[in-house]
Structure 1
């Protein structure tokens, strides 16, 4: 995930988003979480995933992470403070204004999120 995080941070910075302002930090965190989920829960034979981030006119970021996995993510019950699994969707709930899943037919799914600064 370091590469996905770095590329998103670099692109958003180039588009005028500054760390600590706007949606940059939350967007980078959510891209990392969603990309990790795509690798962990996508098809075992292919660890490929796609990331798209669009900066909207008001500075909000629209995130899309796509993979070939057929399963739709579902939030888990609350874990303990030290639990390192199952936090990605809770972070989406906390940081994104809205999020959801689009099925891509037999080609998997896209998890999307709208993040405002």
Structure 2
């Protein structure tokens, strides 16, 4: 299980409630837009009605924080680190930088990651 698994359902609800959607072309945008609504891009193709941007960001942060907390409770820090080391193929490359970047939102330190990396390295 990854952080994304914890985010999927609540984020889907948030998108629906806030009128947010992903669009990567004019055709997609035209299918999903609501007339007379101004949209703001939040990056990576995510569009949110301008009137909902502040609320969307606040709710997104709450959802992300709750998902991280649940991931830690369910899996523990070491298992999360090991999962991300594997996801980023750190044992293959011998480098942990991508894992360090991915786990910044968890407030996991580089030292913690190195400890798990060195323990599990063959």
TM-score (norm 2): 0.27
Pick the structure with more helix per residue. 2
RCO greater where, 1 or 2, for CA within 8 Å and sep 6 or more? 1
Larger radius of gyration: 2
State the TM-score, normalizing by the size of structure 1: 0.27
